A and B are shown apart, each in its own frame.
Chain A
């Protein structure tokens, strides 16, 4: 019965992954939308295209952006060959073994976030807590309780609308291994510092202020809820987390750089692997967030994990 429960959860996740891949593939093929503002459809070296600029002279980040990888560390484990979800049964597995149930066992080995070595360095006193949270990831991962992934787990935005004074991000679902939901975020780009009173209000996406450093947009976020994770695998953070994001557009390439500071739990700031996004040839249509039920959350009785 226990195995049946967790298998069902796996199957839901499997469906999410399938739909996410199909959706992404459609977008990659230009299946949605009409085209983005900026340097036009990418051909050849996308970085060589002219960089469109706002009226104030700063690069215009408007457009639909793709690539960069789904994992919270970016494109995943360099060099590893990770195949499909179904593995044939090993010689010592029982007669009841089936390929499609092996996916429950193999999930943790296939996740690029788990394979990747470019992970944050937690303080030693938190190591066992991390392991325990990871072991109970199907119960404790906030994505299992329908919470937003938050920043930075949400990954780079999939669509951006920029003006001289603010910027709007639309985020797609299916990140960090096909989890999460569509979200949005609006930030004033006025160079003002954080307002201490507002910083006391904790949110999933954080309280963000924006400024330009040359041609790089810098977003500085604090005021995070500690309910979200940095990524699958028990990568929790405290409410003292600060996230600094940098967006640098060169032609039709957008460099997305993130540094996570959390002196409560991390030994040192974590510089996430750079993500290189490219301008999609067509506008990305992002479906709104759908319904979500905490399916079987209280019934999780195994440590099979995603």
Chain B
């Protein structure tokens, strides 16, 4: 045990001391495209993999915060590529703070790197054919880079009848499944095309807690969220501004008693005419309201916390309550049990029958 402690201490010192060199070398490595023959991993380390050095390495932290606000808790106090001024009310700062406070900015570059979600509800209700149904299962698996999601629903009506469905969205297709991944293996499950639900599901994706901030940043940068993913919001918006891109996201401020709320409007990606309005309190959204034609869908979020399981607390926040109201009526209300926001395996390939049914 003593040996381990000694070794660990030594490694800590090595890591801290060599951190800048590591980043620099990794950048050089990526630039050169050379990867021949790395030396042996150290004994006792088991050759454990470390993060790959792939991807672009721009936007790494530079300079120091110099005591400016928003710098977070302890640590060495190094600044990121962008640090909002304390109390800043400009669009770039608000968007950065929104993602930052949700724990979506990761790595030293503070890039928005949340690709997937696996959400399990503790319970709730939803409307099925106009009737309330008590949820026994509500699991959302999203992959924002597809973009798509799969929602596994099981509930019981007042008359004890049960209902189950798997609502799926993947790119330009929407369909229902009787089991997750229906028809990917011949003879296993049934997929039913539901293109009529495509826009509703896209709205649900991009007005979701993760989706909304992604869509707002993307619109501010004049691009699709698939493109803005993996970037530091501050760096991205600076780059786009220099390129003359006009942001499609707007920002106003409202004051209710002593509480100031940031109100952002932005388009819902891939849904022409759909506009979202997100209201932020203390940098986190309390609601996202989407208007699309005559329809108004409200998503109300509360009880923000790190809902990842106790063995994997990674400071990535999510709401503990989510309510969806359509034209004034509550259609879904779920309470969070646990989330998995750790870049896991979430896919939603489109079944052939759905493709054949057409877009």
Interfacial residues, chain A to chain B (CB-CB below 8 A): 8-9, 11-25, 27-28, 32, 64-71, 75-100, 102, 105-115, 117, 119, 121-124, 127, 130-131, 134-135, 138, 141, 143-146, 158-159, 172-182, 232-234, 267, 278, 280, 284-295, 297, 301-306
Contacts and interface: CB of A to CB of B under 8 A. Distances in A.
B340 interface: yes
B45 A12 contact: yes
Given A70-B53, A115-B113, A123-B185, 13 more contacts: A16-B42, A16-B47, A21-B29, A24-B35, A79-B229, A81-B58, A81-B111, A83-B109, A98-B75, A106-B106, A178-B41, A178-B49, A181-B47
Nearest to A146: B46
B172 to A, nearest CB: 16
B53 A176 contact: no
B189 to A, nearest CB: 8
A83 B230 CA distance: 10
Interface of B: 4, 8, 11-12, 14-16, 18-23, 25-26, 28-29, 32-61, 70-80, 100-101, 103, 105-111, 113-115, 118, 145-146, 179-182, 184-185, 188-189, 227, 229-232, 235, 283, 309, 311-312, 314-315, 317, 340, 342-345, 347, 349
Contact of A67 (B34, B76, B349): B34
B34 A303 contact: no
Contacts of A96: 73-74
> Which applies to chain B's interface (DSSP): helix, strand, loop or mixed?
loop
B49 A179 contact: yes
Given A12-B11, A97-B72, A179 B53 contact: no
A82 B70 contact: no
B59 A81 contact: yes
B49 A306 contact: yes
A29 B70 CA distance: 41
Given A17-B50, A71-B54, A280 B36 contact: yes
A85 B107 contact: yes
Residue of B42, B46, B53, B61 with highest tally of chain A CB at under 10 A? B46
B33 A278 contact: yes
Contacts of A143: 46-49
Contacts of B23: 83-85
A80 B229 contact: yes
Contact of A25 (B25, B58, B105, B181): B25
Given A14-B11, A287-B39, A302 B55 contact: no
A89 B75 contact: yes
Contacts of A286: 37
A109 to B, nearest CB: 4
Contact of A70 (B4, B52, B181): B52
Nearest to A132: B344
B170 to A, nearest CB: 12
A70 B54 contact: yes
A80 B75 CA distance: 25
Contact of A83 (B44, B79, B111, B118): B111
A67 B35 contact: yes
Contacts of B312: 135, 302-305
Contacts of B54: 69-71, 75-77, 82, 112, 115
Contact of B73 (A14, A97, A117): A97
A5 B100 CA distance: 27
Contact of A28 (B21, B29, B80, B231): B29
B52 A76 contact: yes
Contacts of B47: 16, 143, 146, 173, 178-181, 292
Given A84-B107, A90-B72, A284 B36 contact: yes
B1 to A, nearest CB: 11
Contact of B107 (A82, A144, A292): A82
Given A15-B14, A82-B113, A182 B40 contact: yes
Contact of B11 (A11, A180, A285, A288): A11
